[in-house]
Structure 1
Amino acid sequence: MTPGDVAEVRTFIDDEPVSRASVDGWERRRVRAVLTKLGTRLGRRAVDELLDGRSVDELRGADLDDQRAALSDMKARLGHAGTYALIRNDLKVSEAMTRMALTVSRGRRTYAVARLQAPDRSAQQFAAWFTELTTLDREAEMMQACPDHYLLRGLVDGRQEVVETTGGAPTASRFIVDYNRTDDLTVPVDPGYPVQVAGQALLDDGTCIGGVRHQFRDHDGVLEALLTVEFPRAVPGWMVRQHQWHLAVEFGNWIRAGALPVRNHG
Structure 2
Amino acid sequence: MADVEEQRSTADPLAIQVVIGGERMTRDRVLAWESRRTRAVLAKFETRLGPRGFAELAPARTAADLRHATLDRQRAALTTLKMRLGHAGIYAMLGRELAFSERAARIGVAASRGRTRHSAVRVEVPNYSAARFAAWFDTLTASNAEADMVDACPDHYLLRGLPDGRQEVVETTGGSPTVTRFLVDYTSTDALTIPADRGYPIQIAGHAVLDDGLIIGGVRHQFRDRDGGMEALLTVQFPGVFPARLIREHQWHLATEFSNWMIAAAPVAAGSSPMR
Taking structure 2 as the reference length, what is the TM-score of the superposition? 0.93
1:3 and 1:126 map into 2 onto residues whose CA distance is 22
Aligned residue in 2 for 1:178: 185
- Partner of 1:208 in structure 2? 215
Matches within 5 A, 1:224-263: 224-259=231-266, 260-262=269-271
| Match in the other structure for 2:139 | 132
Deviations 1:90-140 (A, max 9, x none): 000000001111111001100100111111111111111112222110111
AA matched with 2:270 = P
Secondary structure, aligned partner of 1:163 = strand
What amino acid is the match of 1:242?
E
Equivalent residue runs for 1:1-266 within 5 Å: 4=11, 6-259=13-266, 260-262=269-271
Letter of the 1:73 partner, please give it: T
Work out whether residues 3 and 256 of structure 1, in 8 Å CA contact, stay in contact via their aligned partners in 2: no
Q: Quick one: structure 1 residues 3 and 145, their matched pair in 2 at CA, closer, same or farther if it must change by over 3 Å? A: farther
Partner-residue secondary structure (3-state), 1:87: helix
Three-state SS of the structure 1 residue aligned to 2:11 is: helix
**Greater mean alpha carbon deviation, residues 7-16 or residues 222-231:** 7-16
Contact 2:90 2:157 (8 Å CA) reproduced: yes
Higher normalized contact order (CA 8 Å, seq sep 6+, divided by chain length): 1
Whichever residue aligns with residue 186 of structure 2, its letter is Y
Q: Is this contact kept in 2: 1:6–1:261, CA < 8 A?
A: no
Q: Percent identity?
A: 55
Is contact 1:3–1:253 with CA below 8 Å preserved after alignment? Answer: no
CA contact (8 A) 2:229 2:272 kept: no
Give the residue type in structure 1 aligned to 2:177: P
For residues 216 and 244 of structure 2, what CA distance do their matches in structure 1 show? 16
Q: In structure 2, how many angstroms separate the alpha carbons of the residues matched to 1:221 and 1:122?
A: 8
Instruction: Report how many aligned residue pairs link the two structures.
Output: 263
Kept in 1, the 8 Å contact 2:171–2:180? The answer is yes
RMSD: 1.3
Q: Which amino acid aligns with 1:262?
A: G
Give yes or no for contact 1:134–1:158 (8 Å, CA) kept in 2: no
For residue 6 of structure 1, report the CA deviation from its aligned partner: 2.4
Following the alignment from structure 1 to structure 2, what is the Cα–Cα distance between the partners of residues 143 and 124? Answer: 23
Q: CA deviation at 1:53?
A: 3.6
The CA deviation at 1:164 is: 0.2
Measured in 2, the distance between the counterparts of 1:104 and 1:93 equals 16
3-state SS of the aligned residue for 2:198?
coil
Measure how far apart 1:181 and its partner are. Answer: 0.8
CA distance, structure 2, for counterparts of residue 187 and residue 248 of structure 1: 18
Deviation per residue, 1:32-64 (Å, 9 max, x gap): 110111111110100011111411121121111
Equivalents in 1 of 2:165, 2:74: separation in Å?
A: 30
